Amino acid sequence: MRNVMTFLAMIGFAALLGAGCAGPEQKLGRGISNTFEIVRMGDMRRSIEQHEIFDPYDGYTTGFVSGFNKSMTRTGLGLFEIVTSPIPPYHPMLTDYLTPGPVFPASYAPGRISDPLFDTDTYTGFSGGDVAPFIPGSRFNVFDN
């Protein structure tokens, strides 16, 4: 019974620290995003691209080492932010070395994934085109860009 009460008290204290505060939520989200840098390797791709553009002779080697260092730093920072998410400070750390958000190569611009959450009009039967194509001379279009 004592172990259960201690465990419930710890969970209640953690909930009290994190409930309703935007700081812990942002820090935890940033930490999760940074932790997945080891899978994404965006810093490495960007570093290789930038080093190859500005120094073509040793861009791949220097860019690889620099990008690997930044990717591992971002992953470690993400783990640290996950563990310390309920504890202040909540602002981004190491901003002189890393950007607060994930980076991508300049030649790649990510977009949204095709999902019913974002593309609801096509999944419910509404899409661009003629409203009444069966009527001759109908030129009224919806979502015409």
Q: At 129, phi and psi to the nearest 5?
A: 125, -170
Q: Which residues contact 82 (CB under 8 A, 6 or more apart)?
A: 28, 31, 32, 35
3-state SS class at 93:
coil
Amino acid letter for position 20: G
The arithmetic mean of pLDDT across residues 127-143, rounded, is 57
Q: At 78, phi and psi to the nearest 5?
A: -65, -45
Domain-located, residue 127? yes
E runs forming strands in 35-122 = none
Cα 29–chain centre separation: 8
Per-residue pLDDT tens for 14-53?
Answer: 766 655 567 888 899 999 999 998 888 889 989 999 999 8
Domain-located, residue 91? yes
Q: Is the pLDDT of residue 95 over 70?
A: yes
Do residues 100 and 45 share a domain? Answer: yes
Per-residue pLDDT tens for 44-92?
Answer: 989 999 999 888 888 889 999 999 999 999 999 999 999 998 888 888 8
Q: Is the pLDDT of residue 10 over 60?
A: yes
Do residues 49 and 120 share a domain? Answer: no
Do residues 126 and 98 share a domain? Answer: no
Strands 141-142 and 129-130: antiparallel
Q: Is the pLDDT of residue 145 over 50?
A: no
Do residues 55 and 73 share a domain? Answer: yes
Residue ranges making up the domain that contains 122: 115-145
pLDDT for 87 = 85
Domain-located, residue 2? no
